[in-house]
Structure 1
Amino acid sequence: MKEKWISVEDIGQVKLVKNKRSKQLRITVKPSGEVRVSMPWYASYESGISFLMKRKEWVLDTLAHYQNHPLRQNSFQPGVLFQTRYKTYELAVSKRTGNRLIISFPENRCVLEFPENRSPDSQGLQEAITNVLTELLRKEARLYLPKRTKELAEQLHFRYNRVFIKNNKSNWGSCSSLGNINLNLHLMRLPDPFIDFVIVHELVHTVIPNHGQEFKAAMQRFFPEAKTMEKELKNYHPRFFTN
């Protein structure tokens, strides 16, 4: 696959994805607010953008519907759970019996299988899934976030002390008075532009500790659509479930 992010007025960030298995152009709008245009490998990005713009009204109507009628989910169910920049995470039912979760990594996927004699709604199974996914996300976060923070700090001329990976339930990141940056492992479930947005947000805090006009102006310099991105970031949550 080959990906490209574009910014579309009123919609925000849109992912264009070229896939050798795609036979036609297709638009997907997720309850999280992510908009994705799937394209055949040979199609031009311009054709994907044109296809999107012709259906812009439908995309906006769908986004408004999800905003007014949010999906309520409080447990992991079989199917695709989420996607990170490294893997697609899935939960599946195995025909075996027993109690253990089996984890496999076919291609760029992570598949968690639970035995068919167990209900996916059982508290013990849900806790086991949560624990496994949390640790897998932590590994991804440690692999990517410190490195990406260093890259952005060098590009934008910021200095910081250390990066720590956290599992906070209420924020994406924070910055201490010592210049330490805390980043939430759930950032790995966000599209790349939003990961960068949060990291730069904390880097700016190493110089400007508040959210006043100076801070907002700095974010605007690095992200001309900072206000829109801040709003869109609220469609995502730094925890698996929002209820």
Structure 2
Amino acid sequence: MPETAPRKVTLQGENVAYEVRQSDEATQPRIDLDLHGVRVVLPDDSTTDPEELLKENAVWVLEKKRKYDAYREQIPDREFEEGERFPYLGEQYEIVVEQRPASQVVENEFRLAKHHVEQTSIKRALETLYRRKARELFENRANHFSEEIGVEYDKIEVRNQRTKWGSCSTTGTLGLNWRLMMAPSDIVDYVVVHELAHLREQNHTDEFWSLVAEHDPEYTEHSEWLEDNSTSLIFSTDDL
């Protein structure tokens, strides 16, 4: 998808930088916004003026841009070094590197195996530990709530989606984001309950939410917490 050098346009008195990309897959002109900025995507044969397209959608563009600007400012500035602290089930745990057979979470510390850090990095060793503990916790909570709800799931896949916390396939596979391990445990439970409930109700019907509420009475607060605190669960800039 060819792209041009960054351009600028004035929208309601505000200077906005944007890129233009040509796409043989695009069927019509569109505007994409995310953490990386504003892009106008045009079909190869398009005669649309990207600047005019942005001006026609100025209110929407500025609203989305401000949202992502605010989001970007909230992204944690994490350093992958000994002594740094990372969230684990809602609490801050310190990184310690030491001679040990395997990395483990002990007494509010991430005790990383020195040989693993030397072979890879603190970042990789820490993520590996998060993922391992995520599988342990996810399986424990899924087994607990599936019995409560009266459903059976097939398997759990520990995933790393950028914006999705959980999913449930029609075949019973639960996909759960390992970065949930940085959130409080009741948030983990909410996501597990939410996905298991889809094994009974595929859509977000009143019956679905009633089922979720039955096993997580504070699900509304937990959902809002995820919405408001998603930036605190960003592990590194690779997540963006």
187, 198, 206: which is aligned to 2:199? 206
Q: Structure 1 pair 157/71, CA: closer, same or farther in 2 (3 Å)?
A: same
Out of 72-81 and 134-143, give the one that drifted further. Answer: 72-81
1:159 lines up with 2:149 in the alignment: no
The Cα RMSD (Å) is 3.8
Instruction: Indicate conservation of the 8 Å contact 2:76/2:234, yes or no.
Output: no
CA distance in 1, matches of 2:155, 2:103: 33
- CA pair 187-107 structure 1, distance change in 2 beyond 3 A: closer
Q: Distance in 1 between matches of 2:159 and 2:218?
A: 27
Aligned CA distance change for structure 1 residues 138 and 86 (closer, same or farther; 3 Å): farther
Match status 1:135 vs 2:139: no
CA distance in 2, matches of 1:83, 1:209: 31
Give how far 1:192 is off. 1.4
Secondary structure, aligned partner of 2:170 = coil
Q: How far does the alpha carbon of each residue in 1:44-78 deviate from its partner, in whole angstroms, 9 at most, with x for none?
A: xxxxxxxxxxxxxxxxxxxxxxx9x7365264465
CA contact (8 A) 1:91 1:112 kept: yes
Q: If you compute each CA radius of gyration, which structure gives the higher value, 1 or 2?
A: 2
For 1:49-60, what aligned pairs fall within 5 Å after superposition? none
| Cross-structure match for 1:80 | 85
CA drift at 1:171: 1.3
Question: Structure 2: 5+ residue runs without aligned partners?
Answer: 1-70
Amino acid at match of 1:236: S
Distance in 2 between the 1:106 and 1:137 partners? 9
Q: CA deviation at 1:200?
A: 0.4
Structure 1 unaligned segments of length 5 or more: list them.
1-66, 95-102, 115-124
* Deviation of 1:177 (Å): 1.1
1:101-137 deviations in Å (ceiling 9; x for gaps): xx976942224699xxxxxxxxxx9x93332221111
Cα 1:104–1:138 change in 2 (3 A) is closer
Could you report, residue by residue, the CA deviation over 1:161-202 in whole angstroms, capped at 9, with x for unpaired residues?
112222222211110010111111122222111111110000
Distance 2:147 2:110 in 1: 33
SS, match of residue 196 in structure 2: helix
Distance across 2 between alignment mates of 1:225 and 1:166: 25
SS of the residue 1:164 aligns to? strand
Query: What amino acid maps onto 1:73 in structure 2?
Result: D
**Which runs of structure 1 show a deviation greater than 6 angstroms over 4 or more consecutive aligned residues?**
none
Bigger helix share: 2
- 8 Å contact kept, 1:80–1:89: yes
Alignment of 1:1-243 (within 5 A): 70=74, 72-73=76-77, 75-76=79-80, 78-84=83-89, 88-90=93-95, 107-108=106-107, 109-111=109-111, 128-234=121-227, 235-237=229-231, 239-241=234-236
Structure 2: how far apart are the matches of 1:70 and 1:158?
Answer: 38
The answer on whether the counterparts of 1:80 and 1:91 sit within 8 Å (CA) in structure 2 is no
Aligned-residue offset at 1:86: 10
> TM-score w.r.t. structure 1 length?
0.53
Q: Give the paired residue count.
A: 160
Deviation at 1:236, TM superposition (A): 3.3
CA distance in 2, matches of 1:107, 1:136: 12
Task: Tell me if the contact between 2:174 and 2:195 (Cα under 8 Å) persists in the aligned partners.
Answer: yes
Cα distance change, pair 140–112 in 1 and its aligned pair in 2 (3 A):
closer
Contact 2:146 2:152 in 1 (8 A): yes
